[in-house]
Amino acid sequence: MPAAALKKTVRTSVILPETAHIRIQALADANNVSAAWVIRAAVMQFLDEHGDETQLPLKLPRTKKGERE
């Protein structure tokens, strides 16, 4: 990927369970980085490991309401 493409960013938002948000914030605080940095690092690691796959390697648990977490 060209270096210029790596510098361009896009803002997005996600809805997380409160427990995930708390854990992400704790990791960020412990490492003196932002929660956004932790999330970006996790997404980039996931894409590096699974970006070429056509089937997602995960089964998300369902909440009591039948919605995915």
Domain ranges of the chain: 19-48
* pLDDT value at residue 6: 65
* pLDDT value at residue 54: 77
* pLDDT value at residue 41: 96
Residue ranges of the chain with pLDDT lower than 70? 1-6, 57-58, 60-69
* pLDDT value at residue 65: 59
Report in angstroms the alpha-carbon separations of 61 from 7, 21, 36, 65.
34, 17, 23, 11
Q: What is the pTM of this model?
A: 0.68
CB of 53 closer than 8 Å to CB of 47: no
User: CA geometry: angle at 59 spanning 10 and 52, to 5°?
Assistant: 50
